[in-house]
Amino acid sequence: MTGPLAGMLVIDLSRALAGPQAAMMLGDLGARVIKVESPAGDDTRSWGPPFVHADDGTVESTYFLSCNRNKESIVLDLKRDEDARVLTRLVQRADVLLENYRPGTLRRLGFGTDRLMRLNSRLVVLSISGFGHDGPEGGRAGYDQIAQGEAGLMSLTGPAPDQPQKAGVPIGDLLAGMNGAFGVLAALRERDRTGRGQVVRTSLLASVVAAHAFQGTRWTVAGEIGRAQGNHHPSIAPYGLFRCAGGSVQIACGNDAMWGRLRTAFGIEADEERFATNAGRVAHRDSLIELLESVFARYETDDLLARLAGTGIPAGRVRSLDEVYAWEQTHSQHLLLDVEHQSLGKITLPGSPLRTFTVDAAGLETETTRDSGSPPPVLDADAGAIRDWLDAPLPISGISPSRQSAVRTPCIDVQER
């Protein structure tokens, strides 16, 4: 295993998307990730269509495949003492444990944070919830679209204020996973200094609210409530989707100098009193859109994009997903990962968004990104190997210092169950 987290052991008790996303990001960075599933498997194994039918008769969900690369799978029923003891032994060797049960559930299963820390004082625990672990609604179950609505994102998305729209991907889950992974890395760094682990908590609610960006301060500071207004920016103009002869293009004029170049390049005679400043262009956005679309109507999409590029105006097309995955730039950034799946054979997955490099004194870069990936596991695929690994003697000299004390610790409190 390569990558900056090589040698780290992550126990992934989570299911659906937020927790699995966080664990997958840690796996992408080189950690060994053991996914602990219930006998029924992760919920997303049944989320579809689309499903892919393998030659051996098994059926795989493309949803599950999207968020579980670089993991191993073992089935444990934590209500059974024997399986609870297996998890206990995994916890003692782990660096990180992730869970996204409803608050209080893991404690009822016998693995509250107090017991986890007794088992392994160096453990970093990531807990992701829907609406937070405390507060008047801390116990609510959270699914992405519910969180998008409750956290205000849907009120900002869509063609008009009376047509709220969810994002096209489960952005609340994805953000919570990203924030969770970020928190885990910070806690591991803190452990380097103190020698002790800690609990990291985030939620779908917190992650969406934290992503409000300028829409948040638009209300908290200026007292203005943002509303959905389609494909044009509420604070910058021109910035959005514009129709042209062959379809549409997106442009972004982030300052007055860009606007000046756009005017010059296309011979636009604009009302300086209204359009000279960004604030004026925002105030008269509808007139500005009408003006630009009347000019762009003379150009096919490719010709318009070429002219905008030559002028130095940031611009782009709206691609379908098949176009994105066929795009040479996507391939150049290593955003596709070919793996050999146990039942499906060779499949292609979206890859990690991160690449890492070392730079020598002469400025020569050497890529250190994890050099291979493993496919999402079939249910319980690695149970035998994991149990054998737990049973095998593990010399203290052969493991990282972060886990030496944990490995030496006997399972002294299994009787608590």
pLDDT tens digit sequence for 108-134: 999 999 999 999 999 999 999 999 999
Instruction: Enumerate residues 6+ apart whose C-beta is below 8 A from 201.
Output: 126, 127, 128, 129, 132, 133
Which residues span the domain enclosing 291?
231-344
Both 240 and 207 in a single domain? no
Cα 339 to Cα 57, 170, 239, 348, distances in angstroms: 20, 24, 39, 6
- Let me know if residue 362 belongs to a domain: no
Both 245 and 133 in a single domain? no
- Let me know if residue 50 belongs to a domain: yes
| 294-307 residue pLDDT tens | 999 999 999 999 99
Both 36 and 148 in a single domain? yes
Q: What is the dihedral of CA 299, 305, 308, 314, to 10 degrees?
A: 140
What is the CATH classification number for the domain harbouring 337? 3.30.1540.10
Given 28, 144, 173, 371, which residue is catalytic?
173
Annotated catalytic residue 173: yes
- Let me know if residue 223 belongs to a domain: no
pTM, full prediction: 0.90
Q: Choose one of 298, 329, 344: the last residue of a domain.
A: 344
Q: Choose one of 316, 344, 372: the last residue of a domain.
A: 344
Model pLDDT, residue 79: 95
Q: Is the pLDDT of residue 185 over 70?
A: yes
Q: Is the pLDDT of residue 398 over 80?
A: no
Average pLDDT for residues 215-237, to the nearest whole number? Answer: 96
Model pLDDT, residue 396: 55
Both 78 and 120 in a single domain? yes
What is the CATH classification number for the domain harbouring 46? 3.40.50.10540
- Let me know if residue 200 belongs to a domain: yes
Model pLDDT, residue 269: 83
Instruction: Take residue 168 and report the two structure tokens written for it.
Output: 């096209």
Instruction: Take residue 50 and report the two structure tokens written for it.
Output: 């689309």
Both 58 and 137 in a single domain? yes
Q: How many domains does the chain have?
A: 2
128 beta partners: 202
- Let me know if residue 331 belongs to a domain: yes
Q: Is the pLDDT of residue 378 over 60?
A: yes
